[in-house]
Structure 1
Amino acid sequence: MNISEFCIRRPVMTVLLSLAAIVAGAVAYTKLPVAAVPRVDFPVITIFANFAGASPETMATSVALPLERELSTIAGVDTISSINGQDTTQITLQFVLGRNIDAAAQDVQAAMTRAQRRLPIDMTIPPSYRKVNPADAPVVLLTLSGGDTPLYRLNDIASTIIGPALSRVPGVAQVLTFGEQLYSVRVRLDPDRIAAMGLAFDTMQQSVAQANSNTPVGLLNGQRQQLTLRANDQPQNADEFGRLVVAGRAQAPVRLNEIAQVADGVQNERVAAWRNDTRALVLAVLRQPDANTVEVVDGVKASLPALQSALPPGAEINVMLDRSMSIRDAVHDVQESLIIAIGLVVLVCFLFLRRVTATLIPTVAVPISLCVAFGLMYALGYGIDNVTLLGLTIAVGLVVDDAIVVLEAIVRHIEEGMPPMQAAIRGSREIGFTVLSITLSLIAVFLPILLMGGVVGRVFNAFAATVSLAVIASCVVSLTLTPLMASRLRGHHATQGRRPPLIDRVLEAGFRGIEGGYAWLLDKALKFRLVVWVLFLASVGAAGYVAVIIPKGFFPVEDTGFLLINTEGPRGASMAAMAEVQGRLSEALLQTPHVKNVVSNLGAVGGSISINQGRLFVELKPRKERPPVEHVIQELRQTANAFPGLRVFMQPIQNINFGARQTRTQYLYTLQGLRLDELYDWAPRLEQRLQTLSQLQDVNTDLQLDSPVVLVNVDRDRATTLGVTVDQVRQALFSAFGARQISTIYGQANAYPVILEALPEDQRDETGLAKLYIRAAGGKLVPLSAVASIERRSGPLNVSHQGQLPAVVIGFNTPPGVALGDAVNAIRAVEREMGLPPSIVTGFSGAAQVFQQALAGQGMLVLTAVLIMYVVLGVLYESLIHPLTILSGLPAAALGAFGTLYLFDLDLSVIAVIGVLLLIGLVKKNAIMIVDVALQRQRAGAPAFAAVREACILRFRPILMTTLAAGAGAVPIAAGWGAAAELRQPLGLAVVGGLAVSQVLTLFVTPVLYLGFDSLARRLSFGRGKVPAQAAPAE
């Protein structure tokens, strides 16, 4: 007794277990996390270092290099890169996938501690680090604006009230602040007043710091009591600081406000953010890895009314960018596609079976299989996202196949007059091995994806697992519940003497006509086998040709409804100039018909550490109210072109990023070299040449050598003669122009810096240097001009390192319709044309690097899938030859898939390759049904020719039915309906096109190849295709 007969004879058990599976799956579905794409953990740690007043070269050599040397010794580091700008260093460590990020963070902290002793002594703030997952973009951006409330007060509220409150929302990982405005007291010294009072810049730092001392003073211990000593409390604001005595003159105290402007301000005046056209703080909320994005955003929004009540009058908190909206739309649209696919599959079943009761049997397999898949997905840690829902939609056409094959075998026996119970037992026994073969060989296709490493493997592991789980569930249902339900069918109405309905007669006549036409064509194909062999070989050659000429892409660009715009102003542009032009750009964007909101940032945000670079997050209007994102970008480019001197780089925000850091463009091309002069000579030339390529757009480089620099050249001999040291000169310059932190105010919730600098008007250009005086060894004030000359030059705006070597990064995008593979080939051609010296090493990083790795592995991935399937089929059929017969439909499927993508002007992206792999598993089932019956007939004594001909005619209808069902499941995906359709459509088109072509060719190629391989097997006398005894028909 096999499992089917056991379930047929135990109907209550079978039905109850099926109902339990449905309930468990439905409950599991409600608990699955919802996100845009599957979780991909990039173990990335970013180190930040600040050294006020330091040039990019100083940051690169004295800060970045010592840190990089220690960080490079950490185990598991994949890449290390840094970008060094004015005052700032940002080092990005990307670890190999699988490296525990928490353990890596401990190693990073230890490495920074070891490097501390080699960092500049004047660095008052030690380097810090942050664990980053580039794949986790903020799920929502909030803006906090104050009306009449100063931003630094709102900053305190954000850090002490709003941030902690949002962090307590279930699923929130952390809250980041952009445009941070930390309160500080800014002491702006007047050089003229200082000199008039006989004071000097190089000593004022100590004077102010000593006046604001906050050190303990001790205890008084008496016989009966202990008293704590306290001196004057620290000043807490600018007014109190202004009254501090910092020097004495003619027995009169010199107060700080007599020689300086003392004002309440912010720590970093070179960072700012705006909500549309209003200054604001931007709060970015990141979710935990396994959290439900939709629930996290709903929780954040629910907490906002209580937070609003804690704000001062006139201040408000607003939701600006809600990433959950695109996820809701995408999930909703995929769910609609899933329902449409189910409807199409049911329609196909009804057209072939023509009875509601018979149609219900394979239809029931769909919800049960999907519910079982939901339960297993929950147990294995998967969630609901675009990729898994894509797998489930495709699975709709697959899970019904097994039930159709089983049902067709049972119905055939019923129509021949056999009682339903006996027909169900016999039919399920006959077809059980076929169903098992189809299921195992389909799962075998996904083994390479399940075992694939790298980022792409992490993403599509969920797709392969989802489809595999659904197919396994459908196999179990088709061998248990389907035979049980079929055993309760009544005999065909023709056997009971009733006249079938008109539609039944029309459809049956049509099917019989199609079968008759196929039988005639099949006889012709079997008669002229050489023609079929030529056709088969031609399909192999055509598939190979189209595979070569089709453009190779990476991931389709998804329309999420959000844009990232990076701006770059002229070299040396000030903060005020950038704020003015970026504000006008933001206003212009808001006036366009497709833009809803704009969040603007300036300063050290994301991957930008240069003052002439900014960033805008743009929320577009709903997709139904605007054209696709590519057209929107082209229109916004025209708007941005109206701002001369401002370079603008636009890219749609994607739900998954493949780079370790945010960049101005989607793709990066790097140059490394030991010789800095050679590297800086070749990089601009190469950039200019790449800008002429039609396959690239937005070509830019991080090498900016023409930033204006003022060089203070100290005459050491002259300085020594006058009693001035070089360190005194540096200290004076740092105090005047370095935004030097000289003290700290300790508040109840935060610590606030005290910043020393010159008056704003003395910091505008090099003329302010002439007002600086330095106290010589004898006490005399010496003007800076007496010991140094001032010269204006050009220098780098920032300095990059890659792998501890000097590097230049060239960014680029691809124009609409250009595949990334074509762009990469064009860049490589330019390299060869220009003849780069061997000392300069080139390569791609970020998404372009992942693309190259994925492209190199695509051929091996498909080959591995075919080999695994061959092994599985060889084991199942105990044959070395007939697995080749079963796999003979693959070239036709590949030709159909590649040709369809080419006709629809789509490149061969990673998602399309996954569709080709899926095709490998789909098209072989037709051949399996033919070969399985043919082998059974041969075992019964029939010659090969008669056996394969009978198998083709006998299995023609279920082959046609299952192929149409699988194609129907993919039609909503191929149609490209709804949000995130760009991600799904290549797979759907590949499946539909491949099924259509392979269906036509396989029905004729398979029997011809079967006869050829059977003859070969007889001559070789081994591997003749034995079928296990339990699979043989009981006739």
Structure 2
Amino acid sequence: MNFSAVFIRRPIATSLLMLGVLFLGIIGYTQLPIAGVPQVDIPTISINASLPGASAETMASSVTAPLERALAVLPGVTSLTSTSSLGSSSIAVQFDLSRSVDSAALDVQTAINAASGDLPKNLPHPPSFEKANPADALLMTIAVYSDVMPLGKVDDYVENYLAPEIARVQGVGVVDYHGQQKPAVRVRINPEAIAALGLSLEDVRAAIAASTTNAPKGTLNGEHQAVTLDATDQVVDADGYAALVVAYRHDAPVRLRDIASVVASAEDIRQGAWVGGHQAVMVDVHKQIGFNINQTVERIKAELPRLTHDLPASMHMVLLGDRTQTIRASVVDLQFTLLLSVILVVLVVYAFLRDVRATLIPVVTIPLSLLGTIAMMDVLGYSLDNVSLMALTVVIGFVVDDAIVMLENILRHIEDGLSPLDAAIKGSREIAFTIVSMTVSLVAVFIPLLFMGGLVGRLFREFAVTAGIAILISGVVSLTLTPTLCARFLNRQTAHGRGRFHQAAERVFDRLLAIYAAGLRQALIHRRLTLWVAGVTLAGTVLMYIAIPKGFFPQQDNGLIGGVTEASQDISYTAMVERMHELAGIVERDPDIEHVYYWVEGDPSANIGRLLIDLKPFGQRSASVYDVIKRLRPQVASLSGISLYLQARQDLQIGARSSKTQFQYTLRDANLEELRHWAPIMLKALGDIPVIQDVAGDLEPVAPRLTAVLDRDTMSRLGITPQMVDDTLYDAFGQRQVATFYTQLNVYRVVLEVGSHYQLDANALRQLYLTASNGKQVPLSSFVRLENSTAPLTINHDGQFPAVTLSFNLAPGHALSEAIAAVDIKGAELGKPVGLTAVFQGSAQAFRASLSNQPLLIAAALLAIYIVLGILYESYIHPLTILSTLPSAGIGALGALMMLQYDFSLIALIGVILLIGIVKKNGIMMVDFALAAENERGLAPEQAIYEACLLRFRPIMMTTMAALLGALPLAFGSGAGAELRRPLGIAIVGGLLISQILTLYTTPVIYLFLDRFNRRQTRGLALAD
């Protein structure tokens, strides 16, 4: 049966069918969303709890630990990390990718309910949680500031108007803030004044708390009318609170303004954010799980003109960190790369066929395959991203292969005198099995990718499916439309050629064929030498794979740099802000930087700041993101008292815990003191490793702590309780929120503290008085002794154990595999205690998992092809002949990567897997025709393979050159996102170059060797019978 004959005899139906594919593809293209990388949803739940005034140790033991115990037993938990700090606890639970984030959220709620009995009874409110996805980068940041209005008014506008409007946009998830200055009334007490009047801080706090309320009053229900009752029970501004009567002394009122400074200020004055020299409120906009980043940002930008128009005249809005700018630039550049690949492939086909009509026939396969694939991508919910477009670009080079093979075989029959119709029917029948073999075996290469687990598997599944669909469509087009077009548009003039160019090109090809024929005869004569070359190639491939440095995911230039600053542990908030201003001033002077925005949050510690850098668009800057980082390092190093850790922001974020630098190495120990002892030792040891740099850790040196040692006997005699001491200290130094008042817009707080000049040092505590049971004021110093000590401000857990995360960046010219090996060696040399364990986290952990799977993945791809070819040829031997083409491609790919100083990343691995599918096509074309010659014409194996090689030399050259030039723009591209695609192109180009030279000679020899082996085995079995 001739499958193609049905379509050859019905050209109108065939053409209309293909037009339908084109139409569906065009519709799908207009609907596909744009993204940086495929959407990968990592089910993650963030839990937050607060207990104001509690130390980090108290939060870790009484709040974090009970929650962790309940969360750890949930099904599918893969990671459980937490941070306990002054008054707050933050826990991140990451689930297996097979879990739905919605069902995971229900489990988390159940776990929180189960742990509630073990939590402190004085928690202000139950722990809250929200869904998160660490793989999603921040969508954008919107900075709002005013040079005229108080920042509290700006904050009011942002919180009450701007943020809710942004949150309502479809696709927007969490909206949070930096530098928030929520309006509040601050009451700054003079402790000497209240002591002189016989008042305590608790007396003042109680008076303020009792002065304002907002309770229901009821209704008067008359005979004819109902009247709602109200009262002026709220105090809503600083002037109102200043006039409050706190007490009476000598029949005269003591008003709050007599003993305190009462000002309109902010709830938390120890945090702030800045951009361009302006203090601002930063709004971070995150994407909701399951929505496309580009579409969401477009919706937000569509709202911005209206929101900007509604701003008060003196208020300004700045859009920062828009990731979609580089995503669009990368996609546009990749689309240009795709178009360039199409042009190069067309030129290759024309150079070999030397006729416009003959060239257009296989070239038609390209738009049909691409648009048909795009239609299926739309159905499957994929996006136009770096991975899917990379798949479409790389398949351009070999979607024309099947059509070229079909066309070349039909042209050969026309040259032999058959009519175009008869030639199309006969040629398609002869070549159909070859095309099916090439197509199915090439698609089989991607089967192992579909079964890869984890994040990497999710990421490359889209690549495998996209490329596989394109190849299947090209195979169908080659068996249907290609012979149909050949029957209608080819003639003998096309087959025989005409013109000087055709004749000159034919002479060049004939000379090339003659050179190859002579070399092939020598290879067949010196078979042992040729087999030795094939063996050395195989051994060289294995050795090069072992030797080549290996990486995870190529580092991208997304035009965004993240920075973490660190100063001494005891630095004040004011001093830290001054350091940040100096540092930002240095960074802003770089000519390739567009925006610098940064923030400091004083709780739990003022010594950590955050900084984000927006680079100018690609066309407006001269340096890459890594050049800018390299340029900034020595400049900021000259600034004393502060350190800056920089890393380029990436599309692919793995791990729930953030770190100062890119790759994470976590130390865990049940013994906190042992952990705190060994973490600095390990940090120093990692700093001595030459293949890594920017080594940092999240173990903050313990901060100074002033402990009030209570004389309980004296306190008992005076009638003073420890709770009274705690309340007094909290009133004085804790920014205690003592009252709440309500407006139509929002809820506001009254914050109590002593004056700033009473908060400078330990002498401040000597100014505090408490009321004894006899009503007299007693100085705190009379029953409290002060001791200086230290305490951690944060305690991190990983897997319920106390943990310290060390992090590092790679030194220039070194791969992640080298860094991980060096860190492992250094850790083993130190002789850590048994209770201290060390594991890689985040990207480093994912890399290590993928590294162990790489040989298995390659072996699985080889096995899949072997099984498919064995079924197609009904032979155990012939698939081995075809697979013998692969070592030469491997050594070419690895050699090209090493020569150009690229590591063997996951993208390069995909290139090698693609090569497995591409290169074996040469073997299929040789073996297929050799077997046909043996079976149909009775030729000896030597003569059959010799004729097959010469007969298929032209299509082999055409298909290889098409695939090679199709990948060339990927290998040498330089636009946005090129660093991600380059390893793939280099691997394919290098592999095809070497394999093209070697396999034309080694494959025929291996065919004869295996054929002889098979015949001997067959004769041995026959004699045994």
| Normalised TM-score (structure 2) | 0.97
Residues 90-99 or 4-13, more deviating: 90-99
Partner of 2:884, secondary structure, is helix
Tell me the residue number matched to 1:418. 418
Tell me the residue number matched to 1:504. 502
1:224: Cα distance to partner? 5.9
1:411: Cα distance to partner? 0.8
Note if contact 1:417-1:495 (Cα within 8 Å) is conserved in structure 2: no
Measured against aligned partners, the alpha-carbon deviations of 1:520-554 in whole angstroms (never above 9, x if no partner) come to 11111111111111111101111111111111111
Tell me the residue number matched to 1:675. 671
1:780: Cα distance to partner? 2.5
Tell me the residue number matched to 1:213. 213
Measured against aligned partners, the alpha-carbon deviations of 1:123-147 in whole angstroms (never above 9, x if no partner) come to 4354332222122222322211122
Measured against aligned partners, the alpha-carbon deviations of 1:21-47 in whole angstroms (never above 9, x if no partner) come to 111101110100101111011111222
Query: 1:1022/1:400 Cα in 2 relative to 1: closer, same or farther (>3 Å)?
Result: farther
Tell me the residue number matched to 1:276. 276
Measured against aligned partners, the alpha-carbon deviations of 1:55-82 in whole angstroms (never above 9, x if no partner) come to 2222222222222222223322211111
Note if contact 1:321-1:619 (Cα within 8 Å) is conserved in structure 2: yes
Tell me the residue number matched to 2:929. 933
1:577-596 pair list within 5 angstroms: 577-596=575-594
1:369-384 pair list within 5 angstroms: 369-384=369-384
Measured against aligned partners, the alpha-carbon deviations of 1:238-292 in whole angstroms (never above 9, x if no partner) come to 2222223333333333332222222222222232111121111122233445545
Tell me the residue number matched to 1:961. 958
Partner of 1:141, secondary structure, is strand
1:164: Cα distance to partner? 2.6
Runs (5+) with no aligned partner, structure 2: none
Percent of residue pairs bearing the same amino acid type: 43
Give the alignment partner of residue 984 of structure 2, picking from 954, 970, 987. 987
Residues 728-737 or 194-203, more deviating: 194-203
Tell me the residue number matched to 1:748. 744
Tell me the residue number matched to 1:520. 518
Tell me the residue number matched to 2:610. 615
Query: 1:610/1:105 Cα in 2 relative to 1: closer, same or farther (>3 Å)?
Result: farther
Is it true that 1:905 corresponds to 2:901 in the alignment? Answer: yes
Give the alignment partner of residue 1016 of structure 2, picking from 990, 999, 1019. 1019
Alpha-carbon distance in structure 1 between the residues aligned to 2:988 and 2:998: 15
Note if contact 1:139-1:297 (Cα within 8 Å) is conserved in structure 2: yes
Is it true that 1:245 corresponds to 2:241 in the alignment? Answer: no
Tell me the residue number matched to 2:442. 442
Q: Counterpart of 1:766 in structure 2: which amino acid?
A: A
Partner of 1:488, secondary structure, is helix
Give the alignment partner of residue 772 of structure 2, picking from 764, 772, 776. 776
Note if contact 1:202-1:729 (Cα within 8 Å) is conserved in structure 2: no
Query: 1:750/1:109 Cα in 2 relative to 1: closer, same or farther (>3 Å)?
Result: farther
Note if contact 1:84-1:800 (Cα within 8 Å) is conserved in structure 2: yes
Query: 1:680/1:514 Cα in 2 relative to 1: closer, same or farther (>3 Å)?
Result: same
Alpha-carbon distance in structure 1 between the residues aligned to 2:823 and 2:495: 72
Q: What is the number of equivalent residue pairs in this alignment?
A: 1019
1:111: Cα distance to partner? 2.9
Alpha-carbon distance in structure 1 between the residues aligned to 2:862 and 2:582: 57
Tell me the residue number matched to 2:136. 136
Note if contact 2:858-2:913 (Cα within 8 Å) is conserved in structure 1: yes
Query: 1:522/1:397 Cα in 2 relative to 1: closer, same or farther (>3 Å)?
Result: same
Tell me the residue number matched to 2:185. 185
Note if contact 1:163-1:175 (Cα within 8 Å) is conserved in structure 2: yes
Measured against aligned partners, the alpha-carbon deviations of 1:622-681 in whole angstroms (never above 9, x if no partner) come to 334222222111101122112112111000111111121332111111111112222111
Q: Counterpart of 2:839 in structure 1: which amino acid?
A: G
Is it true that 1:543 corresponds to 2:534 in the alignment? Answer: no
Residues 945-954 or 334-343, more deviating: 945-954
Q: Counterpart of 2:161 in structure 1: which amino acid?
A: I
Alpha-carbon distance in structure 1 between the residues aligned to 2:286 and 2:667: 33
Tell me the residue number matched to 2:601. 603
Runs (5+) with no aligned partner, structure 1: 1025-1035
Note if contact 2:41-2:290 (Cα within 8 Å) is conserved in structure 1: no
Is it true that 1:789 corresponds to 2:785 in the alignment? Answer: yes
Alpha-carbon distance in structure 2 between the residues aligned to 1:638 and 1:982: 25
Note if contact 1:878-1:1023 (Cα within 8 Å) is conserved in structure 2: no
Alpha-carbon distance in structure 1 between the residues aligned to 2:450 and 2:203: 66
Alpha-carbon distance in structure 1 between the residues aligned to 2:389 and 2:289: 19
Note if contact 1:53-1:739 (Cα within 8 Å) is conserved in structure 2: no
Tell me the residue number matched to 1:630. 626
1:977: Cα distance to partner? 2.2
1:590: Cα distance to partner? 1.1
Partner of 2:130, secondary structure, is strand
Measured against aligned partners, the alpha-carbon deviations of 1:506-531 in whole angstroms (never above 9, x if no partner) come to 11111111111111111111111111
1:262-661 pair list within 5 angstroms: 262-289=262-289, 291-493=291-493, 500-603=498-601, 610-624=605-619, 625-661=621-657
Residues 121-130 or 208-217, more deviating: 121-130
Alpha-carbon distance in structure 2 between the residues aligned to 1:60 and 1:758: 29
Query: 1:251/1:215 Cα in 2 relative to 1: closer, same or farther (>3 Å)?
Result: farther
Measured against aligned partners, the alpha-carbon deviations of 1:686-705 in whole angstroms (never above 9, x if no partner) come to 11111111111111111123
1:764: Cα distance to partner? 2.5
Residues 200-209 or 989-998, more deviating: 200-209
Is it true that 1:1000 corresponds to 2:997 in the alignment? Answer: yes
Tell me the residue number matched to 1:717. 713
Measured against aligned partners, the alpha-carbon deviations of 1:875-919 in whole angstroms (never above 9, x if no partner) come to 111111111111111111111111111101011111111111111
Q: Counterpart of 1:975 in structure 2: which amino acid?
A: F
Alpha-carbon distance in structure 2 between the residues aligned to 1:787 and 1:609: 29
Q: Counterpart of 1:564 in structure 2: which amino acid?
A: G
Partner of 1:480, secondary structure, is helix
Query: 1:36/1:617 Cα in 2 relative to 1: closer, same or farther (>3 Å)?
Result: same
Tell me the residue number matched to 1:731. 727
Alpha-carbon distance in structure 2 between the residues aligned to 1:408 and 1:520: 23
1:6-17 pair list within 5 angstroms: 6-17=6-17
Q: Counterpart of 2:913 in structure 1: which amino acid?
A: L
Query: 1:291/1:682 Cα in 2 relative to 1: closer, same or farther (>3 Å)?
Result: closer
Note if contact 2:414-2:495 (Cα within 8 Å) is conserved in structure 1: no
Note if contact 2:411-2:495 (Cα within 8 Å) is conserved in structure 1: no
Is it true that 1:80 corresponds to 2:80 in the alignment? Answer: yes
Note if contact 1:800-1:807 (Cα within 8 Å) is conserved in structure 2: yes
Tell me the residue number matched to 1:821. 817
Tell me the residue number matched to 1:256. 256
Partner of 1:322, secondary structure, is coil
Note if contact 1:599-1:617 (Cα within 8 Å) is conserved in structure 2: yes
Alpha-carbon distance in structure 1 between the residues aligned to 2:1015 and 2:846: 48
Give the alignment partner of residue 693 of structure 1, picking from 682, 689, 695. 689
Alpha-carbon distance in structure 2 between the residues aligned to 1:928 and 1:691: 53
1:117: Cα distance to partner? 4.4
| Normalised TM-score (structure 1) | 0.96
Alpha-carbon distance in structure 2 between the residues aligned to 1:495 and 1:933: 21
Measured against aligned partners, the alpha-carbon deviations of 1:927-956 in whole angstroms (never above 9, x if no partner) come to 111111111122112221111111111111
1:226: Cα distance to partner? 5.0
Alpha-carbon distance in structure 1 between the residues aligned to 2:786 and 2:287: 51
Residues 404-413 or 661-670, more deviating: 661-670
Partner of 1:97, secondary structure, is coil
Alpha-carbon distance in structure 1 between the residues aligned to 2:366 and 2:128: 53
Q: Counterpart of 2:167 in structure 1: which amino acid?
A: S
Alpha-carbon distance in structure 2 between the residues aligned to 1:1022 and 1:222: 116
Residues 722-731 or 893-902, more deviating: 722-731
Query: 1:460/1:494 Cα in 2 relative to 1: closer, same or farther (>3 Å)?
Result: closer
Note if contact 1:45-1:132 (Cα within 8 Å) is conserved in structure 2: yes
